[in-house]
Structure formats: C-alpha cells, structure tokens
Structure 1
Amino acid sequence: MQIPPLSTRLVHVSLAVLALAACAQTGEVHTGTAALADWRADAPGVRRHIRPSDLPAPAMGNDPEKSIASRVEVVPPPQGALPKVPDGFAVQVFATGFKQPRTLRVAPNGDIFLAESGTGRVILLRESAGDTTAKVEVFAENLERPYGIAFVPPADPRYVYVATANQVVRYPYRSGDVKAASPAEVIIANIPTKRHWTRDLAVSRDGQRLFLAVGSASNLGVGGMPDMTPEQIRQHETTHGRGAAWGEEENRAVVRVFDPEGKSVRNYATGLRNCSGLAMQPGTDNLWCVVNERDHLGPLVTPDYMARVQEGAFYGWPWYYLGDREDPALKGKRPDLKGQVRLPEVLIQAHSSALSAAFYDRDAFPAEYRGDAFVALHGSHSRPDRTGYKVIRVCMKDGQPTGEYEDFMTGFLLDNDRAWGRPAGVAVTRGGALLVSDDANGTIFRVTRK
C-alpha cells in the first residue's frame, strides 16, 4: 500500500479538524436562561443552544389573539452606520432605495432576484466587476406583495416562479434575461390573504415538485375553527393531513406541494404557524423552513424555530408546541394528537420573527462555514425586551443541525425601542458573498471575507 506524503496527510487532517469544528469559535455557548436573553447579549460570535427543557411555563390568561408588547420604532441609519459582523469579514451597502425588500434568490448564472414586496416588483440585481454596488433592473411588476422566488428546473431554468400573497405565477425565462418576456401565467390562484401573507417557494432538485408556505389566518385559530366531531376530524385529515386546521384556517399553517403546472396541489406538512422561509439543503431534497411561532404565551415562550419539513409531519399548531406541550387556550381539544407532534431541530429565541434561510455552499468563507445555514431574524414585537434584529448562523455537522446557532450580523438596535434595520432576506452569491436585505430602510448588504 502506498502511503501519501506527509504534506498530503497533514492537509487531510486539517480538513477533518475543520469539518469537526463547525461553529467552534472562542467563547462559551449560552444555555439555559442565558440562551433566552434579549438583544443586549447579542454580538458576532455569541452562541446559543436552546433546549425545550430551558423554557419556563407559559403565561396563563393572555388573550390568544393579542400581542403583549409594542412595535419598535424604525429610524434612519446613523451617519456611516453598518451592521457588525465577525472579525475577518467586511460588510458593504450593495444596493439601496427599495421599499420593503424581502426575499433574495440567486439564479444559476449568478443574477440576484429580489422580491420588493412594498412595490409589487421583482428586481434583478447584477454584480459589476470591480464595483461593490449592483446594477438594478425591474424583472416583473404589478404583483400583490411578491415574496417567494424559484427557478424551475433549478439547474437550467425555463421559468421563474413567484409566490405573491394571493397566488403563484410564473414567467418564461432564459439565463441572462433581465425582464420577463411575457405576462405572468397564474399557476395557483385564490390563496387567502388574511393575516400572514408571506408565501415562500422552494423546488426539488429534479424540478418536478414545488413547495409553497402558507401561514395561518390568526395567532391561534380559536375564533375561526368551529368544533367538529371526532369523525368529522378524521374525514378532514384524510384529505388535508394529520393535524390540519379547518374553517378559516383550512390549508393555512402548512407547506403545500404542487407540480410545475399547478394541477395537483396538496398539503405536504401541517401545524407550521407561519413558515416564512423555505430552503432546500444543497445536494439533497431535504426541505427546511424557519417558523414564526405564536405570540400569547409570554415573552420567553414559545421559540421560533428551524425545522426539516418532512412529508406528512405535524408540527403542533395550534393545539401543541414543542412536542406534547399543550397550548392552554386549547386545552383538551385534541388529545388524539398527543405524541404525534414532530419536534423542530433548532430553537430560536422566542418572537425573533425568523423570515428566511440560506445554506452556505461556497468556498469564499472559512471552511467551517460550509454546510451551515444563515437565518434572518426580522425582530420581535411580542416581548418587552427585544430579540432578533440580526442574522444568525445555524451550526451543522454532517448535514444535521447541532442545535446551536451563532450571531453573525448584529448592531441594528440603537436601544430597546429604536432600530435602524430589520433583516428580512438572505442569499449566497455565486462568488460566495452573503447578501442580506433590510426592509426597514430599503438596503441590501453584502458580506465578504477580508
């Protein structure tokens, strides 16, 4: 047997160490009550690991349809202000002047698509050689709060799909197109728009299945779901999925799956109160989502989360949260679902408002970042002491989350009542930079390694 030279063996050892050291930065991991703390503990490199056992009991007696705190005041950025990122990284303004920029997606050719929800437009951004700012084009317009964007088929797309608040449409597309060549073709119509309106999209590797996130019509569903008998529930679940809600919540709080022509649409997973961000794990058909959980159980309950979305799985809303924890407002309503709730993989500080996720699959960042996920936390309004208003890095090992996450981009809060930025979308460019949309002041930031 031929033995590799020492230099080669050392390289292999170094790579193995990096692979094992995912998120292994200096400093302790905040656990227990420290992991639940507010924004004052935030800084690039700070890590948290929240476990179900860390959570206090839910607050009792709160109105299940009311929030418990006020919204933050959005103010202009201080002169020269930029968000904070870890040592070894640089952040720049990539583009600005947008109204409610949300989801970012990168086409196979490197063009960047942005859902500008506040104007009803889909924007195309193109990186310019030797320039840190983007060239801006309007790809499509006159849409109702566009949000999700998907390229189908993913490797060599012939269409750009866009999910708006009330429908899914598509446009013919060829690599390099900067404007839609024809009007929108409606694929799924008449999506209800009450309350949660963010509709994200993801697509399987073969392009044969698309996934659509549809959030709930309420915080908890207590007023919009009339009582049904056990037999009526059983019949409903045979067509809508285990734990599926009904009434005004029918086909809400779900991820749906459909074929590219929109001829077959059904629920793929249920009990996801508001899955605002979908992401397909690179090299797999593993679908992940980040979820905004309910607001009425207190400032520390219940966590937002990132979960792998499995077909046929039920994630608890509205009757349960984090496994068999029953929501006090619906106590005793669905004992048949106890033991049927799938636990999410990563718990995030409660009320952080996780909006989007993107896996890092490039080589520009340090090796230990590869395979991890970035998540944009838009920021809380349902707790007196703020959480969120940052981008976190979710730690993965061998393709599975460790449960830990690390602050990556912070500094948007001036104090507990004022913020100059709210992260909304994240995407990884073909060159390996991280893009972050801020929908408070209409800016796209670009993070690179120094």
Structure 2
Amino acid sequence: MIRFGGFAAIAAALFLATAAFAQQADQQVLKGEAAFGGWKGDRPGVRRLIRPDDLQAPNVSQSVRNGAGRAEIPEGARPLLPPGFSAEMIASGIYNPRAVRVAPNGDLFVANSKAGQIRVYRLAEGSAKPAEKSTYATKLTRPYGIAFYPPGDKPQWVYIANSNSIVRFPYQDGDLKAAGEPETIVDSIPSNGHLTRDIAFAADGKTLYLSIGSGSNAAEKIEAEPDGGLDAWIEAKPLGAIWGSEEGRADVLAFDPDGKNRRIVATGLRNCSGMTVQPATGALWCVVNERDGLGDNVPFEFATEIKDGAFYGWPWYYIGDNEDPRHRGKRPDLAGKVAIPDVLMQAHSAPLNIAFYDGKNFPADYRGDAFVTLHGSWNRGTRTGYKVVRLMFKDGKPTGEYEDFMTGFVVSDDAVWGRPVGVAVAKDGALIVTEDGSGSIWRVTYGKSPS
C-alpha cells in the first residue's frame, strides 16, 4: 500500500477533500422519473430524491424476470468510489458471505450463510490484509444477523440469527472460535420464504430486536379472513397484523435479552433484511425489500426509522395509502393508517443492510449519514441496484436524498460480478462491504491509494 508522509500527506488529503466537496456541491439531484434510471447511469456522486408523489400507478410497465448472470471479477477490478476513496479486497471466493458486524476489538464477523458458518477476520493495522482468520462457528442454519451483548466495549455474548432461531455463544474479547455450544434464545421462527433474519440490540441493551420477512411476495394466497372473523382479529392484534400462513411474519419483533417477553414492534414490513440502531438518536432503522410484480418502478424500496406500533402496508398497501391491486377492497379499515417511510429508493433495488457512519476516516460531512447495500434487481426491465448508496442526514434527520457511493459491479446488461450485502464501519473508520456475487469482502478508506 502506498502511504503519504509529512506535508505531502496533508496537501494530498486537502486536495482530495476539496475535490470531493466540490463534486457534492455541484451535484444535481435527480428527482421524479429522472431518478428511475438503470445501472448505466450509476456512478459515485449521483444523487436522487424520490418522494411518495413520484409513485406510478401499478402495472404501467410489464413485470419481467430479468435475473443477472454472474461474471468473474475482471482482472485488477476494484469498485468505483468518489474522489479520494479507495477499495482493497480483504478476501474472495467465499461461498455466500452476507451480513458483517464488527466486534469491539475490531474483528470482522461475517455470516457465511449457505455454508452455515460465521467467519472472523482480524486485519493487520491500517491494512486490508488479514493477520488472522478463523471459522468461529459451524453447523448453523443460514446464519445472517450478528450482534454483541451487552453493547459496548466488553460483550459477554455474541448472538446469531439463524433462519429459524436466535442462538448465542459465550464471548470474550478476541475470541476467534466459539468457546462453547450455542444456547437457543428464541426458537420457533418461521423458516421458509424470506430467510434473512437480522438482529440488533437497543443502545441500553435492554431490548433485542428481530426482523422476520414474509413467506411470500404479496400474500397472494392468504385466506380472506382469519379464523374467528376479521373484527375479532382487529380487536385482539396489533395494527396491520396478518394471519394464516403469514402470521408472525413481515414484522419487527422485540424480546428481552434472554429471549423472553416477545412482542411486536411494527408490522407490514415485507422483508426488513437489515437493521441497525442510529448512534445519534438510539432509533431503530430498517431497510426493506418491497414486493414484486407491479412493474418496473412500483413500489419503491425504503429505509425508515421503525416506530413502535406502526404499520407499513404489506400486503394490502404500500408507501402510504396506495392499495395493492391484488388485494383491492380487502382492508379499507387500514386506509389512512399506513406509515410512510423516511427514505424511498428505486423499486427492485433490493436493499439488504444499513450502517450509520460514526468513524473518523471519512470526511467530516459523512458522519451521521448511513450506508445501504443494494443487492440488485431481478424484476425490472432495466437493471438497477448492485451498489452501495449513502443516505443523507442533517441534524440526525434524513433529508430523503441518497447518493451513489460504491458502484462498478455490473459488467453488462446481462451480467454482474458483485452483489453488495453486508456493510459495517470498522474500528479504524474504514467501511467494510461484503458481496455474494463473487464472494468477496472489501475495505474502503479515504485519503490512501491501494498498492
């Protein structure tokens, strides 16, 4: 790795920061239909603002299957980043790396979902080169979410969200392998359909959050009414709770840290694949994959602060009072009660993870913003997603704008080499990104050039 020294380092850093800030200041924000483009228009610095009023009617365009073929990583390829940033590969050839979380000592815990493993990478100081790596735990069931408890510098447990349970392992600072057998904290989680179970602890450590996605696209085969009748169901259940084969799904749940006192926090979230707690406010945030089959630009994906008791629409409505035509007239009682998300993103982008930037490596104006991984579309005529975007915040509140940050994973209309999944902020302020197209992990830094 090339390093700058002395005055040259300061001058270079100032030049890079000035260039980056100038680019942001001059950047035109794409709005409305202009924000609905495809991968060919993606590049670092492109900024979008999508509002609820920009939503098209359903089925304006034909719903298509357009999955991407996988290409090998081109020789010497690195993702594209804004001026002054660089990306270095930590590892490659991993079978299905998914969520990544950072232990208090800086170790990277990576869910290797299809292999049923959790991997650990300990990087050399200031480098993307692993000084040590290990398989922390095996024989798990499609592990995804990872959280350390209690929050802070001295966790005693590492919690893992399987597709069908939450387990925990005793943990001491620096453990590279599990010290004992897993203890089941939450069981009987529905395990079909969407399998990405994420977990997060409230800042005070008193609440464990769990996201459970739906078992279907839009509950197309759900019974017309629950057993006992709709009126009785509405009276007994949280706002927007669904029944039958989807009961207990499309929700964010909360538990005590020991897995007891299960309760529903929010409903109508088709697939909250990634959760995190905003450092500045302590608010729980979620990124959601919305439903398919309604056309290229319907409905928008979103990131949002999760409000206790809120209903976000699935399966009857989306983005407010927009009724899904597949359920027209079935739940008029819910009209006017659907929470509108905070940040809307291009339909079918497939957001999977979110991390707030609280490090010190990036320029100061990045602090407090959030990064979201977009896994990429399969149900859109013009491919979109396949990138990492930056959600813009001001005084702890989202502006609604988001900006392309890490692109370059798409090779052609038919093939991609990378599909971003996990994102986390390393102890040294670098951004860590996993992608499961080629199975690689990347370290993004500012003000340094890769060797």
Give distance in 2, aligned partners of 1:187 and 1:23.
Answer: 48
**Which residue is equivalent to 1:32?**
32
Matches within 5 A, 1:4-403: 24-59=24-59, 68-129=64-125, 131-134=127-130, 135-155=132-152, 156-228=154-226, 232-403=229-400
**Are the aligned partners of 1:22 and 1:395 in contact in 2 as well (CA < 8 Å)?**
no
Give distance in 1, aligned partners of 2:23 and 2:121.
Answer: 31
**TM-superposed deviation, 1:56:** 1.5
Give distance in 2, aligned partners of 1:376 and 1:258.
Answer: 27
**Are the aligned partners of 1:23 and 1:368 in contact in 2 as well (CA < 8 Å)?**
no
**Are the aligned partners of 2:159 and 2:166 in contact in 1 as well (CA < 8 Å)?**
yes
Q: Secondary structure at the match of 2:358?
A: coil
**TM-superposed deviation, 1:24:** 4.2
Q: Which amino acid aligns with 1:127?
A: L
Deviations 1:263-286 (A, max 9, x none): 211211000000000010014320
Deviations 1:27-64 (A, max 9, x none): 200001111111111000000001111122111798xx
**TM-superposed deviation, 1:225:** 3.2
Q: TM-score of the superposition, structure 2-length normalised?
A: 0.91
**Are the aligned partners of 1:391 and 1:407 in contact in 2 as well (CA < 8 Å)?**
yes
**TM-superposed deviation, 1:384:** 1.3
Q: Secondary structure at the match of 2:385?
A: coil
Deviations 1:170-195 (A, max 9, x none): 01111111111111111111211221
Give distance in 2, aligned partners of 1:200 and 1:130.
Answer: 29
Give distance in 1, aligned partners of 2:102 and 2:31.
Answer: 35
Give distance in 1, aligned partners of 2:231 and 2:307.
Answer: 21
Q: Secondary structure at the match of 2:34?
A: helix
Q: Which amino acid aligns with 2:401?
A: E
**Which residue is equivalent to 2:3?**
none
**TM-superposed deviation, 1:23:** 9.6
Give distance in 1, aligned partners of 2:204 and 2:306.
Answer: 18
The farther-off stretch of 134-143 and 334-343 is 134-143
Give distance in 1, aligned partners of 2:158 and 2:23.
Answer: 34
Q: Secondary structure at the match of 1:415?
A: coil
**Are the aligned partners of 1:22 and 1:397 in contact in 2 as well (CA < 8 Å)?**
no
Q: Secondary structure at the match of 2:33?
A: helix
Q: Secondary structure at the match of 1:379?
A: coil
Give distance in 2, aligned partners of 1:228 and 1:248.
Answer: 10
**Are the aligned partners of 2:280 and 2:368 in contact in 1 as well (CA < 8 Å)?**
no
Deviations 1:363-386 (A, max 9, x none): 110010000000000000011111
Give distance in 2, aligned partners of 1:368 and 1:148.
Answer: 28
Is 1:439–2:440 an aligned residue pair? no
Deviations 1:139-186 (A, max 9, x none): 111101000001111112111100011111001111111111111111
Distance 1:102 1:22, change over 3 A: farther
Give distance in 2, aligned partners of 1:22 and 1:236.
Answer: 56
Q: Which amino acid aligns with 2:46?
A: V
Give distance in 2, aligned partners of 1:60 and 1:42.
Answer: 24
**Which residue is equivalent to 2:10?**
none
Give distance in 2, aligned partners of 1:233 and 1:205.
Answer: 37
**Are the aligned partners of 1:23 and 1:395 in contact in 2 as well (CA < 8 Å)?**
no
**TM-superposed deviation, 1:260:** 1.1
Q: Secondary structure at the match of 1:414?
A: coil
Deviations 1:416-442 (A, max 9, x none): 110011001000001000011011111
Give distance in 2, aligned partners of 1:332 and 1:233.
Answer: 14
Q: Secondary structure at the match of 2:229?
A: helix
**Which residue is equivalent to 1:10?**
none
Q: Which amino acid aligns with 1:195?
A: G
**Are the aligned partners of 2:281 and 2:396 in contact in 1 as well (CA < 8 Å)?**
no
Q: Which amino acid aligns with 1:30?
A: L
Deviations 1:224-277 (A, max 9, x none): 334248x73344345541001110000100001011111211211000000000
**Are the aligned partners of 2:100 and 2:110 in contact in 1 as well (CA < 8 Å)?**
yes
The farther-off stretch of 300-309 and 220-229 is 220-229
Instruction: Give me the CA root mean square deviation.
Output: 1.8
**Are the aligned partners of 2:226 and 2:244 in contact in 1 as well (CA < 8 Å)?**
no
**TM-superposed deviation, 1:129:** 2.5
Q: TM-score of the superposition, structure 1-length normalised?
A: 0.92
Give distance in 1, aligned partners of 2:22 and 2:169.
Answer: 39
How many residues matched? 426
Give distance in 2, aligned partners of 1:319 and 1:360.
Answer: 34
Give distance in 1, aligned partners of 2:198 and 2:231.
Answer: 29
Distance 1:238 1:425, change over 3 A: farther
**Which residue is equivalent to 1:12?**
none
**Are the aligned partners of 1:23 and 1:369 in contact in 2 as well (CA < 8 Å)?**
no
